[in-house]
A and B are shown apart, each in its own frame.
Chain A
Amino acid sequence: MASKVTSNPPLSAATLHILLALAGGNLHGYGIIKEVAFNSEGHYKLGPGTLYDNLKKLMDAGLVADARKSVSTKDDDRRFYTLTREGRHALAAEVDRLQSVVSKARLRLQETKAGRA
């Protein structure tokens, strides 16, 4: 499974935001939408159609699973989702990839600045 995750192509923006939201703890669908809006400071708005389309893909890929009901969520009828170990690995791999992109971009920008000066 790990090799499958590392060979995955870059995650889409929606997938990345969903995994990032679930990295903080188990959430229901609306909780994910709220968390994504909070994490992106309102710049990325996730609609229910996009959310569940991506959640289904992530569940099929084994990156997200149904969460077991905890004491605090026992009385809540809503379905909660959790990040699996593979999901956490996929998120970590994506963060590493983004970090390397950012590093390269910074380097390029510095080179451009130095070239102009």
Chain B
Amino acid sequence: MSRVVLRFAYRVLLRLHPASFQDEFGSEMLWIYDQECQRGGAAYLLLDGAISLLRQHCKVQSDPGQVSIASGAVITGPGIGPVRFLQAGITFSVMFFGLMRLFGQPNALTVSVKWADRMPCYTVTLEAPSHAEVVLQSTP
């Protein structure tokens, strides 16, 4: 069951890639995912897919696209807006918390905010499966 869910999550990640990248490599990536998944390591593949997604969108955003001026109007090229980024963020969060729940770590990530000297002080605690804790803390 979890294998089906993870494959679905990977397909969602692929769908969120820019259309040109998806058309060119999407089916091959899914095929490789299926091959590699048989040997385990789905979490690594999902993380790799999520990083690839971020890279592709950063690339598209940094590329201004073709700009043409027609009768005084500036038309910009195929830039991808914040909606797609938001979708990717939501998907990544759902996948992260879903995976943590699958692996029996429902409270793996906790975020707390305290105010110190009128500045927010964030504390992010990431609990690893071995019950070791990685604490990232911002100082005001």
Interface residues of A (CB under 8 A from B): 28-30, 33, 45, 47-53, 55-56, 78-79
A-B contact count (CB 8 A): 55
Cross-chain contact of A49 among B24, B35, B52 (Cβ < 8 A): B52
**Beta-carbon contacts under 8 Å, B1-41 to A:** 21, 24-25, 28-29, 31-33, 35-36
State the Cβ distance, B120 to closest chain A Cβ, in Å: 33
| A–B complex contacts, Cβ < 8 Å, 16 sampled | A29-B25, A29-B28, A29-B32, A30-B35, A47-B44, A47-B47, A47-B52, A48-B33, A48-B49, A49-B29, A49-B52, A49-B53, A50-B48, A52-B28, A52-B29, A56-B25
Complex Cα distance, B41 from A45, in Å, reads: 11
* A48, B21: Cβ atoms closer than 8 Å: no
Complex Cα distance, B36 from A48, in Å, reads: 10
- Please indicate the chain A residues that have their CB under 8 angstroms from the CB of B35 in the complex: 30
- Please indicate the chain B residues that have their CB under 8 angstroms from the CB of A45 in the complex: 44
Residue of A nearest to B45 (CB): A47
